[in-house]
Amino acid sequence: MGYFEGIAPIRFDPDGDGITTFRHYDADEVLGGRTMAEHLRFAVAWWHGFAWPGGDPFGGQTFERPWFGDTMDHARAKADAAFDLFAILGQPYFCWHDADIRPEGDDFAQSRANLEAMIDHIGGRMEETGTKCLWGTANLFSHRRFMAGAATNPDPDVFAYAAATVKACIDGTHRLGGENYVLWGGREGYETLLNTDLKREREQAGRFLSMVVDYARKVGFDGTILIEPKPQEPTKHQYDYDVATVYGFLKDFGLEAEVKVNVEQGHAILAGHSFEHELALASALGIFGSIDMNRNDYQSGWDTDQFPNSVPEVALAYYEVLRAGGFTTGGTNFDAKLRRQSLDPIDLVAAHVGAMDVCARGLRAAHAMLEDGVLEDLRAERYAGWDEDAAAAMLSGTLEQAAARVEAEGIEPRPRSGRQERLEAIVNRYV
């Protein structure tokens, strides 16, 4: 079919090659009452698969896609190629930015009209195929008007333009039945403190987010609103640095019950964390929403957005997703792009097939670890002392009362092993 001519829909075949077949991802396999498809909720990212030209900081376009161009015809051809890929992969979901799906107009009104026309086209394709929208978002970082930020821009006209853009993208997401709306503030930060009023910019960002939440609810969008943390790049410093920072920000503006996080593997690494750390913290804080699955090259220090290929890493991530109760409106969005030498149509298919297989193996391992309960039993045992009444009472008492127990009860703590190596050996049994 079209660009993917000669590539058949991918089926599950444990003896297949894992390129034109899934070796591990069996959409219908049931794990703990949910199928793999229901657990993983895979989504293709429109920007990497269809809009990205293959450039890097030292060189331009390497890909030659028949839909590259600035007209509505190109945009429709791009959408049709995207739906061909969704059909080949059997992917239930996709994610998009406005700039991925429509050509930029000469002014805002034309850009908005282009977006609405493309939303119509995509909506029609969704009805025909059953593919769904996991989330939509606004690209508030590529165009030069956003070079000094969107909501946090020193120029109020840019704030207004960003508001108009997000409003149009929420409308589009709502029309497509999107299950989430994402805000990634790629330029919401600074390049140098020397020209930045940090306090004012943070307040602008808080006000903007409140306006977004109010508007989404006003128009009846009942999906989840997500912030995607990232510490830096393209900015030197981004205000949505990591999950902990975003939580503090949400608390500050009274939005912690309204907004959750979309946690990305590569962003977690850039923030000096692991993916599973960010997921565990989001869950602990009650703001876990969705994931952007990818991997960074650990040597380059860039957000290289590669497709995942480490089962042990992915297993630990899904372990936290499952411990959090699994996805509700969220899912696994492949925010991942090909390497720029991967020129062939089959490369785009194989990248997703391989990644889906890696996620399937990770999920299966995570499910087994949780079901067997060995790790959770040991974790519970480690904290068992807190189940005792006197210990629990201490948490609602005073510092003096806690202190008094030491001499009254002759308390002398006995250090115990954290058993890390044994725990790691247990994980190794599953991955």
In 3D space, the residue among 382, 336, 340 whose CA is nearest the CA of residue 356 turns out to be: 336
In 3D space, the residue among 133, 221, 130, 227 whose CA is nearest the CA of residue 188 turns out to be: 227
Q: Could you tell me the smallest distance in angstroms from the CB atom of residue 298 to Co ion?
A: 18
Interacting positions 247-306 with Co ion (CB under 5 A): 264, 292
303 binds, among Co ion, ligand XUL, none (CB under 5 to 8 A by kind): ligand XUL
- Residue 204 or 332 with smaller CB distance to Co ion: 332
Please tell me whether residue 137 binds ligand XUL under the rule CB under 6 A.
yes
d(CA 347, CA 40): 22
- Residue 264 or 313 with smaller CB distance to Co ion: 264
Q: Which of 84, 98, 100, 240 is catalytic?
A: 100
State how far the alpha carbon of 60 is from the alpha carbons of 54, 192, 201, 290, in Å. Answer: 7, 27, 33, 32
Q: Could you tell me the smallest distance in angstroms from the CB atom of residue 292 to ligand XUL?
A: 5
137 binds, among Co ion, ligand XUL, none (CB under 5 to 8 A by kind): ligand XUL
- Residue 31 or 99 with smaller CB distance to ligand XUL: 99
Q: How far is CA 172 from the centre of its chain?
A: 19
Please tell me whether residue 335 binds ligand XUL under the rule CB under 6 A.
yes
Instruction: Please indicate whether residue 15 is annotated as part of the active site.
Output: no
d(CA 156, CA 151): 8
Residue type, 343: L
d(CA 367, CA 362): 8
Q: Could you tell me the smallest distance in angstroms from the CB atom of residue 333 to ligand XUL?
A: 7
Instruction: Please indicate whether residue 97 is annotated as part of the active site.
Output: yes
- Residue 118 or 365 with smaller CB distance to ligand XUL: 118
Measured from each CB, the residue nearest to ligand XUL is: 184
Q: Could you tell me the smallest distance in angstroms from the CB atom of residue 303 to ligand XUL?
A: 5
Angle CA 367–49–81, to nearest 5: 110
- Residue 147 or 390 with smaller CB distance to ligand XUL: 147
According to DSSP, residue 307 is labeled P
132 binds, among ligand XUL, Co ion, none (CB under 5 to 8 A by kind): none
For 17-84, give the DSSP string.
Answer: -SSSEESS--TT-EETTEEHHHHH-EEEEHIIIII----BTTB------TT-SSSHHHHHHHHHHHHH
Strand partners, 31: 34
Interacting positions 239-278 with ligand XUL (CB under 6 A): 264
Applying CB under 6 A, what is the total number of residues that bind ligand XUL?
A: 11
Please tell me whether residue 184 binds ligand XUL under the rule CB under 6 A.
yes
Q: With beta carbons less than 8 A apart as the criterion, state whether 201 and 155 touch.
A: no
The footprint of ligand XUL (CB under 6 A) covers: 97, 137, 182, 184, 186, 228, 230, 264, 292, 303, 335
The footprint of Co ion (CB under 5 A) covers: 264, 292, 335
Residues annotated catalytic, as ranges:
97, 100
